[in-house]
């Protein structure tokens, strides 16, 4: 991957597009072009290194007997099995968090070095601790229920677990905007009431039930821009980062918001939820078939006697991580298609291709994004089409309109 990313991969702008609005040389300075290339290559390389490293860590936890040690620690002075399992999850989660902390810190410092992050260390560390507890509590609930199901039904646990993921996923989507997101940032009604009225007018055209647009203070953490429609039911809300408000014109902001509304109108949230539910069913079924065989075949080397043992959790997480990595190209392909549809919807709603192009240019510039990444990087990492493709979508739409 190192040689592919730093020496072999071709990621420049095609000759036919040189000098056009899709060419980053027309909207980025020479320094920004250099920084964009460096930053993208380092981040892409880290992605392809860290994921296999995670698998290796899980194997080492199992093979060295560390998982068994965590299990013994969790049994000291504890009677109830659910409490023991909770203690094991805490030891495992704490160990992996501490182990990967240097990598997480390097990512933060890298983002800071290239001018993406503006967050000081104390603020970053505060978010890091919040992340730990939010993810730990979520993981703990899932693991406790999962191993309880494995204990009571060794053959059909995967089906029962899948059935429970449906209400759990809906519940998490419902509480995300009002419980989890405010832990990290302050949300408040949009200060610019004239702009809010125009955004709500767009929302009305799109039949989106919303009375307020929310602003979130991100400028103290990042220079990047974002906007989104989140939540379901009564908790759905339109959110704008203040960096977006500070760096884009009104017409560009309206295009960005129209894009996010496109996801809502075209039911991408519900399609994504349905895809998640189906892929979870398939994933749990695969794990239910593979994991017992692996324990039977390699249980002695992995220090696992049976699947019901909580010490088998690292093997479960390893298989889950492998499947997520393998499925990345498919899920990213679907996501890129949905993003293209949302772009087309935004152009229909705003009828302002100039604002669309300048929005994409500004997004690429502030995020130091590659406008045309290498093929492997695109299929494994890009949930949105590269900026080159998004700008081409605008050109094709304009030609079609004419």
User: What is the biggest distance separating any 2 CA atoms in the chain, rounded to whole angstroms?
Assistant: 76
| 152 contacts 144 by C-beta, under 8 angstroms | no
187 - beta bridge partners? Answer: 216
| 221 contacts 123 by C-beta, under 8 angstroms | yes
213 - beta bridge partners? Answer: 238
Q: Which of 260, 309, 370, 389 is catalytic?
A: 260
Sequence-ordered list of residues with C-beta below 8 angstroms from that of 330, at least 6 positions apart, any chain: none
Torsion sign (Cα): 23, 28, 33, 35: negative
What gap in Å lies between CA 143 and CA 317, rounded to an integer?
Answer: 10
197 is in an annotated binding site: no
Instruction: For helices 268-302 and 30-63, give the axis angle rounded to 10 degrees.
Output: 40
SS percent in the chain: helix, strand, coil, step 5: 75, 5, 20
Structure tokens at 209: 């039930």
Sequence-ordered list of residues with C-beta below 8 angstroms from that of 363, at least 6 positions apart, any chain: 225, 369, 387
Strands 187-189 and 237-241, by their bridges, are: unpaired
Q: Strand (E) positions, 109-259?
A: 187-189, 213-216, 227-230, 237-241
What gap in Å lies between CA 396 and CA 394, rounded to an integer?
Answer: 6
211 is in an annotated binding site: no
| 247 contacts 366 by C-beta, under 8 angstroms | yes
339 is in an annotated binding site: yes
Structure tokens at 271: 């399609």
Q: Which of 59, 188, 171, 35 is nearest to 115 (CA)?
A: 35
DSSP class of 383: S
Q: Which of 309, 343, 370, 389 is catalytic?
A: 343
What gap in Å lies between CA 231 and CA 209, rounded to an integer?
Answer: 12
| 385 contacts 351 by C-beta, under 8 angstroms | no
pLDDT at 395: 79
Sequence-ordered list of residues with C-beta below 8 angstroms from that of 200, at least 6 positions apart, any chain: 210, 211, 213
What gap in Å lies between CA 230 and CA 147, rounded to an integer?
Answer: 31
Instruction: Give the other-Cβ count within 10 Å of 259's Cβ.
Output: 25
What gap in Å lies between CA 350 and CA 372, rounded to an integer?
Answer: 26
Catalytic residue list contains 204: no
Helix (H) or strand (E) segment spanning residue 13: none
pTM (predicted TM-score): 0.87
Instruction: For helices 250-265 and 353-367, give the axis angle rounded to 10 degrees.
Output: 90
Catalytic residue list contains 104: no
| 216 contacts 225 by C-beta, under 8 angstroms | no
What's the angle, vertex CA 93, arms to CA 173 and CA 66, rounded to 5?
A: 150
| 313 contacts 92 by C-beta, under 8 angstroms | yes
From first to last of the 402 residues of the chain, give the pLDDT tens digit.
899 988 888 777 788 778 878 888 888 888 988 898 899 999 999 999 999 999 999 999 999 999 989 988 888 766 788 888 899 999 999 999 999 999 999 999 999 999 899 999 999 999 999 999 999 999 999 999 999 999 998 889 999 999 998 898 888 888 888 888 888 888 888 888 888 888 888 888 777 766 667 889 888 899 888 888 777 766 777 788 989 888 899 999 999 988 988 888 888 888 888 888 899 999 999 999 999 999 999 988 988 988 888 999 999 999 999 999 999 999 999 999 999 999 989 998 888 888 898 999 898 888 888 888 999 999 999 999 998 888 888 877 777 777
pLDDT at 77: 63
């Amino acid at each position: 991957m190192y040689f592919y990313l730093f020496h072999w991969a071709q990621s420049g702008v095609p000759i036919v597009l040189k000098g056009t609005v899709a060419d980053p040389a027309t909207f980025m300075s020479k320094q920004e072009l250099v920084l964009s290339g460096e930053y993208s290559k380092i981040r892409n390389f880290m992605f392809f290194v860290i994921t296999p490293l995670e698998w290796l860590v899980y194997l080492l936890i199992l093979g060295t007997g560390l998982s068994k040690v965590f299990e013994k620690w969790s049994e000291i002075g504890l009677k109830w099995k659910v409490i023991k399992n909770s203690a094991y999850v805490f030891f495992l989660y704490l160990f992996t968090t501490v182990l990967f902390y240097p990598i997480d810190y390097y990512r933060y410092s890298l983002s800071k070095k290239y001018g993406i992050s503006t967050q000081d260390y104390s603020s970053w560390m505060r978010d890091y601790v919040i992340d730990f507890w939010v993810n730990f509590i979520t993981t703990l609930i899932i693991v406790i229920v999962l191993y309880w199901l494995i204990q009571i039904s060794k053959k059909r646990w995967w089906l029962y677990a899948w059935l429970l993921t449906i209400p759990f996923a809906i519940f998490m989507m419902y509480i995300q905007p009002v419980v989890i997101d405010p832990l990290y940032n302050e949300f408040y009604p949009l200060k610019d009431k004239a702009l809010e009225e125009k955004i709500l007018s767009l929302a009305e055209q799109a039949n989106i039930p919303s009375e307020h647009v929310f602003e979130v203070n991100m400028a103290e953490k990042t220079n990047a821009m974002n906007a989104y429609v989140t939540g379901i039911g009564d908790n759905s809300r339109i959110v704008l980062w203040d960096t977006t408000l500070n760096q884009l014109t009104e017409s560009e902001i309206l295009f960005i918001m129209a894009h996010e509304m496109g996801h809502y109108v075209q039911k991408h949230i519900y399609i994504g939820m349905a895809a998640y539910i189906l892929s979870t069913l398939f994933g749990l079924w695969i794990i239910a078939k593979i994991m017992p065989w692996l324990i039977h075949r390699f249980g002695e080397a992995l220090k696992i006697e049976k699947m019901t043992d909580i010490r088998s959790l690292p093997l479960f997480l390893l298989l889950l991580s492998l499947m997520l990595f393998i499925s990345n190209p498919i899920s990213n392909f679907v996501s890129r298609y949905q993003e293209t549809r949302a772009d087309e919807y935004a152009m229909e709603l705003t009828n302002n291709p100039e604002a669309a192009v300048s929005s994409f240019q500004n997004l690429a510039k502030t995020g130091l994004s590659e406008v045309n990444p290498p093929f492997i990087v695109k299929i494994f990492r890009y949930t949105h089409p590269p900026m080159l493709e998004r700008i081409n979508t605008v050109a094709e739409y304009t030609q079609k309109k004419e």
